[in-house]
Amino acid sequence: MPWLTKSRFMAGRQCRKRLWFEVNEPHEGRAPDTMAMRQGRAFDDCVRDLWPGRVISRERGMPAAIAETTRVLAAGDATVVHQPAVRNGNFAVIADVLRRDRGLPELIEVKASTAVKPEHIPDAAYQTLVLRGARVPVERVLIGHVNNAFTLEREGDFPGLLVEEDITAQVDAMLPALGEQAIDLHRLMSARETPVIAMGPQCTSPYPCPFIARCSQAAPPPDFSTHRDERVRAGRVFVDRSAATELQTASYPRAWLDFETIAFAVPQVMGTRPYEQLPFQWSLHTESAPDVVQHAEYLAIEDFGNFDALSAALLAAVPREGPVFAYNAGFEARVLGLLARHASAHAVGLLALRERLIDLLPITKRAYYHPRMQGSWSLKAVIPTIAPELDYAALGEVQEGEAAQLAFLELREGAIDESRRVALAKAMLDYCRQDTWALVLLTRFLAG
Ligand code: SF4
């Protein structure tokens, strides 16, 4: 019978069906990388640099890692042990850090979040349960997370990035009930039948479940009968162009703007903080007179972090006056504010540009609904209903924002050949250009 690992325990707490799938009908192959996984690995690496110690290898599998951990802990000469692997009967964990602080044994769970979250407590509690059950002493339990007040002032200088919070009391309060739950979840792994569980909030919280597509196939169509928007409940096409008069009367020249950004748990650009949304790309469509449309774009890879250059190019491309449309424009407003701080020579122009932003999202919400939007006014839900020729699925590798971020990282960090580099950069530019062109078409549609 397989062991109940920490990730299985957390999967089972989220949804019993998820745990059963992960053990009995897992997806084939390795799960694709996500930005959250990249952030977690980057922060783990940073913590290993901050706390030098013994690192237990996972390369030869869990039994070898457990044996190595047992030897290292028995020798007792390592103050800090990273990735210790411990087993107690059917239960096994790979913890993040075991540390002896003035003789006091501590378990530290490292999280790339900027605060302790409720789901971190059972995560650390299960590790504590297994460690203590295996006679590995744990006196204090801490979460080591990202300090969002940290600013990178010197290259590679990260001591202030990590903060520790003591969660020993919360963990101890949870432990009595956890043993029973662990036994129950371990038994569930070998159940013959798939648990019957309907989709619900647990599918996305606290973590996105990897089986959403599988469960959605078997799920009944979504029920919008209690949706708070009457148009969604009615399930009919709704167009009210009188709710979009500002688009009919908008002056020329007009512009449509979209940024692509990336946020690092471990800052990579001098003067920036963790998780600041740093732009690496923009797309701008302009219309100087009806149907006289031009396009400009910018993509920073090697030059990423040169916000002066990115801002100068944007201010040179954008018309000196007239409305600048964006979708969910609060995001573009925040990026322009950030650029004004980091590229102070262009602050006046950037802040003036911010004042000209017009948000198409609330206008679209007032003026339009199509049942194929399924209760969502996200741009990717709206556009196929008004411009089906703009097929995001046909774009290739980059079809949404996270894919653009991963492509950016591959271009910036990866040793890739020239043909891959060219293809990836083209996919990023195509995607961002399509987003602003979609906004042009949406504006024309709503203006009527
Ligand atoms: S998609 Fe939802 S119901 Fe299905 S396994 Fe995941 S959490 Fe459970």
Nearest residue (CA) to ligand 1, atom 2? 203
Long-range contacts of 240-244 (CB under 8 A, 24+ apart): 240/366, 240/367, 240/368, 241/367, 241/446, 241/447, 241/448, 243/363, 243/366, 243/367, 244/363, 244/366, 244/367, 244/446, 244/447, 244/448
Residue 216 CA: nearest ligand 1 atom is 1
Nearest residue (CA) to ligand 1, atom 7? 203
Residue 212 CA: nearest ligand 1 atom is 1
| CATH, domain 6-192, list 3.90.320, 2.30.29, 3.10.20, 3.10.450 | 3.90.320
pLDDT at 414 over 80: no
CA 203/CA 210 separation, integer angstroms: 9
pLDDT at 52 over 80: yes
Q: What is the pLDDT of residue 97?
A: 98
Measuring from each residue's beta carbon to the nearest atom of ligand 1, which residues come in under 6 Å? 15, 17-18, 21, 197, 199, 202-203, 209, 211-212, 215
Sign of CA dihedral 364, 366, 371, 374: positive
Q: What is the pLDDT of residue 103?
A: 82
| CATH, domain 229-448, list 3.30.2290.10, 3.30.230.70, 3.30.420.10, 3.40.50.300 | 3.30.420.10
Q: What is the pLDDT of residue 58?
A: 92
pLDDT tens sequence across 238-275: 999 999 999 999 999 999 999 999 999 999 999 999 99
Residue to substitute in 15, 21, 22 for testing ligand 1 pocket (most ligand atoms within 8 angstroms of CB):
15
CA 311/CA 305 separation, integer angstroms: 11
Give residue 435's pLDDT band: very low, low, confident or very high (50, 70, 90). very high
pTM: 0.92
Q: What is the pLDDT of residue 123?
A: 98
Q: What is the pLDDT of residue 202?
A: 97
Ligand 1 centroid distance, CA of 333 (Å) = 36
pLDDT tens sequence across 173-198: 999 999 999 999 999 999 999 999 99
Residue 16 CA: nearest ligand 1 atom is 8
Q: What is the pLDDT of residue 287?
A: 98
Ligand 1 centroid distance, CA of 184 (Å) = 18
Domain boundaries, the chain: 6-192, 229-448
Q: What is the pLDDT of residue 32?
A: 84
* Burial status of residue 429 (CB atoms within 10 A of its CB: 0-12, 13-18, 19 or more): middle
Ligand 1 centroid distance, CA of 158 (Å) = 38
Ligand 1 centroid distance, CA of 8 (Å) = 14
CA 56/CA 96 separation, integer angstroms: 10
Mean pLDDT of the chain: 95
Q: How far is CA 297 from CA 15, 22, 321, 356, in A?
A: 44, 43, 19, 19
